[in-house]
Structure 1
Amino acid sequence: MKPRSRQIDPLGAFGCPADAVAVSVDSRADRLGAHDAAVWRRTRELLAARPPEPSAGAAGVAAAGAAAGPGAALDAVVANLFGVVVYDDPEDHALAARLAQALGSKRLARLHLRAAELLAEADPGRSWSTEACRRWIGAAAVARAEPTEPTAADLAAAACEGLGYAMLLTDLESAPPTTPLRTVVGFLTVAEHGTLAEWRSHLGMVAARPWGTYSRDLLRLARRCRSDLLRDGVERAVALCREEHQARERADVAREIRRSLALSGVSQREFAAEIGTSASRLSTYATGAVVPSATMLLRIRRTARLLEQRQGGPGQEPPGSTPHGMHRR
């Protein structure tokens, strides 16, 4: 499975060119049973027959693979996913960690979901993404339970664990809702036998309301099942959902502050003086580095509306909207 001439390989800058991943799989082909050898041959045929994907050009390579060479990247991810599930050798997990470094965990997670679909065409009886995700999250949890001086393998395991959670949590808005888990037995059944798609459906409902009833229910069930691995896994997944939600909220607040500044028609320094803060502090609000208090956010909104109206803008000042200490001129 060699990279096609029409594609740019964005992974080479990270010491992980796409063809090297396939070569790694091929070099151990003598260990494959008849079924897995046939699956690998069929996988290579499917990759070769895949329509070309657009490339971002040479600039994308310089950007460390942010967008370039989607076909080459997918080839590498397919080969690596096959290696992780079938061989499960340290070099497969080390390659996965390098792919995560080259592409970023979220982009790699999306590619893994595509790779699993392609591999399922070659072997529909195996849940490729589920097996990889279980191994990555489980191996890292075991390593933490037996703390030792970190090795290269431990660092790779940590990177792969991050990839496993990214596969669980990336783009959860596309995961269809499912029947909520209500009992420990039901929870354990999904934990032990459920697929990645099933868990994504449950976590999609968590992501929609990270502090809501179902989030609390899953945490309660995980703590009642007397498994440190399951408890820690669910706690981390819920925590990551909450962190992502908070990050979006911070971005929304920063966006609203920038919009208020633009509507006001004055400089950032002038606006900062009007709301009783410094220009540098206001800058941290506008970039999202600092989240203002609720009262400060209200002051920013009202001040922006008043300044916009004063300059002849469309804003209408509602009753009581004049910020404290600010008077008409």
Structure 2
Amino acid sequence: MHFRTIARPARLLATSALVAATFAAASAQAEDINIYTSRQPDLIQPVLDAFTEETGLTTATIFIDKGLEERIAAEGANSPADLIMTVDIGRLDAAKQAGVVQAVESATLEENIPAAFRDTENEWFGLTARGRVVYASKERVGDEAITYEELADPKWKGRLCTRSGQHQYNIALIAAYIAHHGEEAARTWVEGLRDNLAGRPEGGDRDQAKAIAAGECDIGIGNTYYVGLMMNNEKEPEQKEWADAIKVVMPTFDNGRTHVNISGIALAKNAPNKENALKLMEYLSGDEAQRIYAELNYEYPLEPGIAASEVVTSFGELKVDDMPLAEIAKHRTKASEIVDEVGYDDGPQS
């Protein structure tokens, strides 16, 4: 269904946006903890409900897909935001660089979250991990191991499909490649990926599985949790067919380990409910919350000793890259530049 858009004066649009933001902020202030999140609310609500049941503290979430840092910066000292919940090391690092978060000293967080998955200055903390892996056709790809480097091998020419190179998940992967091999090697690698593409990058990670199922390509790059979501999608059962057409291959760097990204959390700079917010941060890093994340969202818990779900375990052993995410984040800008320089999103050039 298509709706006709009626142009409105910029001043009216700006006023409407301000009124909406003010209303949302006022609504959030009625709660014990106010969360600005770029995560889909239905993915985090079960764990927030469990927190409320245990502590009696209530939460309010405001979903902000884009411009989260700008929103908090614009609100300044009057911002109702207590916590930022988001996905991708890039977004967490962007919040830090924008100066809208603050350091947290917590023995609980430091005990529960391994050092590689938290900021060196304690301004953000990972909560869950997802592997950036290969989706491979069960019919057309053998059981051989695949390294990240080998994805650029000409043997895959015309057989690879991915979403946009500029998407945050691919930028993080390219940044990890830079951290391991340097800028020039990464540029050559991205050129190889580009020329192995079956067509121009498009869609999301699930669309790459769909393309493999349709025979449009043989391998794709995607996050592990999407496979679990497809396998158990009752609302759109065709996604089960996409999942059934692929197998998960854990690609590795030369250290024998697989790149992962994270969902994470940070304490807002001017958090009005700082004490309550810290309680939620610590709860999210603990046993119960980590188990809920694992079972419902098909993500890997970061707290040591908490097992992944049976679905995720079926993907095979994930040996997590030990390159600190804070180090990977330093190369995000260069990774983005390389994508544009080689014309990745224009598709194969040879």
- TM bucket normalised to smaller: under 0.3
Higher percent of residues as strand: 2
Higher relative contact order at CA 8 Å, sep ≥6: structure 1 or structure 2?
Answer: 2
Higher percent of residues as helix: 1
Greater C-alpha radius of gyration:
1
